[in-house]
Amino acid sequence: MGLIKEKYEKTMQVEGEWNTGAYRYKAPEGYLDEFVKNFRDRKIIGTLCTGCGRVYVPPREICARCFQKITEKVEVSQYGEVLAFLVSPPLEKGKVVIAGIDAVQAGFLKEGERIILAMVRFEGTSSSMVLPLLNAKPEDVRLGMRVKAVWAEKCKGALSDLLGVEPAFEVKFE
């Protein structure tokens, strides 16, 4: 008979440490380290495939379309467009539980906030990125909307420096 949750008993617990940061896993050598290092200067650096001209952000070391190694690096625009988007309901305790941790209870997410996730393509790039869309109301989000990168007040060269994107300026005829 299979072990079943109804008869669940706690197994023995052992304290210990496992330094998972010590391993490479799926990450090619160094490629994201340099990408995030440039966040310190609020720069988004992608890679350019000389075979097809595609610019990848985040950077990529192999072009899957041309099957060739990419070595060229290029800085890309801080502006981009919203290709598609998701909107969360107002967040509550007990709704976002990841690996047993309640993200609202733990303070990672604020109670009552609504998170908009946008699939953004930065100008001149050939890939899309999922980023939080900040400083916008869900009802104001539109496909193709122009957005710009939002950076942390103090950038320290970490992935978390890029907070997301926000609506860019609008030019209106008056």
Q: Does residue 159 belong to the site contacting other proteins (CB under 8 A)?
A: yes
Q: Does residue 48 belong to the site contacting other proteins (CB under 8 A)?
A: no
Q: Are 6 and 127 in contact (CB under 8 A)?
A: no
Q: Does residue 68 belong to the site contacting other proteins (CB under 8 A)?
A: no
When binding is defined by CB under 8 A, the residue of 43, 121, 146, 148 that contacts other proteins is: 121
Q: Does residue 127 belong to the site contacting other proteins (CB under 8 A)?
A: yes
Instruction: Give dist(CA 56, CA 42) in Å, integer.
Output: 17
Q: Which residues touch 144 (CB under 8 Å, ≥6 apart)? A: 81, 82, 83
Q: Does residue 27 belong to the site contacting other proteins (CB under 8 A)?
A: yes
Return the beta strands (E) in 15-173 as ranges: 45-48, 55-56, 62-63, 68-69, 72-75, 79-87, 97-98, 101-102, 116-122, 129-132, 146-151, 162-167
Nearest to 122 by CA among 45, 38, 27, 37: 45
Cβ neighbour number for residue 62 with a 10 Å cutoff:
14
Sign of CA dihedral 10, 12, 16, 19: negative
Q: Does residue 69 belong to the site contacting other proteins (CB under 8 A)?
A: no
When binding is defined by CB under 8 A, the residue of 84, 92, 111, 135 that contacts other proteins is: 84
Tokens of 173: 């005829």
Minimum distance of other proteins from residue 174's CB (angstroms) = 30
When binding is defined by CB under 8 A, the residue of 61, 124, 134, 168 that contacts other proteins is: 61
* Total of residues contacting other proteins (CB under 8 A): 65
When binding is defined by CB under 8 A, the residue of 69, 75, 111, 130 that contacts other proteins is: 130
Point out which residues bind other proteins (CB under 8 A).
Answer: 1-6, 8, 20-21, 23-28, 31-33, 35-36, 46-47, 54, 56-61, 63-65, 83-89, 96, 98-99, 103, 106, 108-109, 115, 117, 119, 121, 125-130, 132, 138, 143, 156-161
